[in-house]
Amino acid sequence: MKPVIALVGRPNVGKSTLFNRMTKSRDAIVADYAGLTRDRHYGDGRLGKREFIVIDTGGFEPDSSTGIVKEMAKQTRQAVAEADVVIFVTDVRTGLSAQDADIARFLRQANKRVILTVNKAEGMVESPHLAEFHELGLGEPLPISAAHGQGIRSLIEEALVDFPETEDDDEPAEAAPIRLTVTGRPNVGKSTLINAWLGEDRLIAFDMPGTTRDAIRVPLERDGQRYELIDTAGLRRKGKVFEAIEKFSVVKTLQAVADANVAVLMVDATQGVSEQDAHIAGYILEAGRAVVIAINKWDAIDAYQREQLERSIETRLAFLKFAEIVRMSAIKRQGLGPLWKAIANAHASATRKLPTPVLTRLLHEAVEHQAPKRAGSFRPKMRYAHQGGMNPPIIVIHGNSLDHVDGAYRRYLEGRFREHFKLVGTPLKLEFRSSHNPFAESGP
């Protein structure tokens, strides 16, 4: 699982700038009362082969009468509770404050590894201004400048010191279990489906971890195929400071989707497709994961409601039109067979080998049937294609002036490739690489 790093500190100390540095300004996800929404709050970062999740908790405004522990925002308590490492950000220009002392007191009670950083310290590595931050009792302060990018790599390396690079799995892909996660907003029936699976299939092993960062992994076997169920709905050990952690966790959803081969997106038929469903679906797509849409409680709605639901899926989940839709009832165990088949189809498509000769032939046939539009004096010329990756499958197309290929033509090519290889339930990425040889256009 990706380690989780939480950024903590009072307002205006540069947490958002540091967040942007650590995540390289990638799109982020935030939790609010409506569910998953786009914002700059949760983000993915990478250092070499090591990936991690960063949480910008926002600024603390402790009430003078109750202090930081009582008035800390709910999402901040959850973020610190689920973090593996907390980076406490302070500001050398404004110096040590009473708020910093309140935050330090809270973090000492949180029983988390804390890295104390002093931001806006460009050119102040040996400055006496850093000395006062020792008073916080959190060890040696690490000077950084988020705005100038100074000290950021050292900070990330320090945060990840307990999380070594993940070694490549030598286990053959055929022998490895299919990692599977069931995701969706609260109370759509995820636990009911998981219990139905565990009751239907032989449970090989069950291990309940005690750490906040581990999901429960349940090995299953069905029709000779091994699966590993990543169960994010499992219990988490409660700490003294964090009595109430939200059942629905953005961090755990991100981790489970990133770690899975196939994600089952469960939607409640009685409630329709919500914005939260669409945002979760969007993250699955961005993560490049194979996906199956499971419409639970299908038996609980009438013909008119079913028609309305189908339209809702077509509009709100239009970007997942490649995904199979399974209508089911987890509590009645209806539709479990088709769901397993859809999962197998999605995984097979995501890991399918696409031979270069076949890809190149399909590319030429597609161009012959419908050539790309000319852009000014340039007409894109496509020469050959090969597979650039799996899970999700990536097709790399080589040629000239390919920067001018528009979105409509990309979708046309994707459709041709999907149809031939029968790719369902998986994103398909097309990469275009243009030759920089000025004489390339005169070639065959």
- 231 and 155 belong to one structural domain: no
* Separation CA 429–CA 410 (nearest Å): 10
Q: Regarding predicted confidence, which is higher, 223 or 340? A: 340
Q: CA 25 to CA 17: how far, in whole Å? A: 9
Tokens 């009670």 belong to residue: 109
187 assigned to some structural domain: yes
Question: Where a domain ends, among 349, 376, 395?
Answer: 349
Final residue belonging to a domain, choices 124, 159, 194: 159
Binding residues for GTP: 9-16, 56-60, 119-122, 184-191, 231-235, 296-299
Residue 168 lies in a domain: no
Model confidence band, residue 75 (pLDDT cutoffs 50, 70, 90): low
Higher pLDDT, 442 or 411: 411
My answer on whether 378 and 244 are in the same domain is no
165 belongs to a structural domain: no
Q: Is 143 exposed, middle or buried (0-12, 13-18, 19+ CB in 10 A)?
A: buried
Can you tell me the distance from the alpha carbon of 215 to that of 208, in angstroms, rounded to the nearest whole number? Answer: 8
| Residues 85 and 234 reside in one and the same domain | no
Statement: the pTM of the whole predicted model exceeds 0.85: no
230 and 370 in a single domain? The answer is no
Residue 169 lies in a domain: no
287/173 Cα distance (integer angstroms): 20
Please give, one letter per residue, the 3-state secondary structure of the chain: CCCEEEEECCCCCCHHHHHHHHHCCCCCEEEECCEEEECCCEEEEEECCEEEEEEECCCCCCECCCHHHHHCCHHHHHHHHHCCEEEEEEECCCCCCHHHHHHHHHHHHCCCEEEEEEECCCCCCCCHHHHHHHHHCCCCCEECECCCCECHHHHHHHHCCCCCCCCCCCCCCCCCCEEEEEECCCCCCHHHHHHHHHHHCEECCCECCCCCCCCEEEEEEECCEEEEEEECCCCCCCCCCCCCCCCCCHHHHHHHHHHCCEEEEEEECCCCCCHHHHHHHHHHHHCCCEEEEEEECHHHCCHHHHHHHHHHHHHHCHHHCCCEEEECECCCCECHHHHHHHHHHHHHHHCCCCCHHHHHHHHHHHHHHCCCCCECCECCEEEEEEEEECCCCEEEEEEECHHHCCHHHHHHHHHHHHHHHCCCCCCCEEEEEECCCCCHHHCC
Q: Is pLDDT at 155 greater than 90 in this prediction?
A: yes
Residue from 133, 125, 129, 58 nearest 90 by CA = 133
What is the C-alpha to C-alpha distance for residues 189 and 315, in angstroms, rounded to an integer?
Answer: 23
- pLDDT tier for residue 125 given thresholds of 50, 70 and 90: low
Q: Which of 258, 414, 413, 431 is nearest to 322 (CA)?
A: 414
Residue 260 shares a structural domain with residue 395: no
By mean pLDDT, which of 107-111, 137-141, 168-172, 208-212 is the weakest?
208-212
| Tokens 């994010």, located at residue | 232
Q: What pLDDT is stored for residue 76 in this prediction?
A: 64
CATH number at residue 121: 3.40.50.300
Residue 212 lies inside a defined structural domain of this protein: yes
Question: In the structure encoding, which two tokens stand for residue 331, read together?
Answer: 């509590």
Identify which of 401, 410, 407 has the alpha carbon closest to the alpha carbon of residue 363.
Answer: 410
Range of the domain at 38: 4-159
Both 367 and 320 in one domain: the answer is no
* CATH number for the domain harbouring residue 390: 3.30.300.20
pLDDT of residue 59: 64
pLDDT in tens, 360-381: 999 999 999 998 888 777 788 8
For residues 193 and 340, membership in a common domain is answered with yes
* Structure-model confidence comparison of residues 382 and 68, the more confident one: 382
Q: What angle do CA 96, 97, 103 make, to 5 degrees?
A: 100
Report the alpha-carbon distance of residue 13 to residue 103 in Å, rounded. Answer: 13
Domains identified in the chain, total number: 3
Binding residues, as ranges, are 9-16, 56-60, 119-122, 184-191, 231-235, 296-299
Q: Is the pLDDT of residue 158 over 60?
A: yes
Q: What was the pLDDT predicted at 229?
A: 85
Burial of 2 per CB tally in 10 Å (0-12, 13-18, 19+): buried
Residue pLDDT, tens place only, 168-202: 444 444 568 899 999 888 778 887 888 788 774 33
The reported pLDDT for the residue numbered 243 is 37
Residue 164 is assigned to a structural domain of this protein: no
Identify residue 241 by its one-letter amino acid code. V
End position of a domain, from candidates 288, 321, 349 = 349
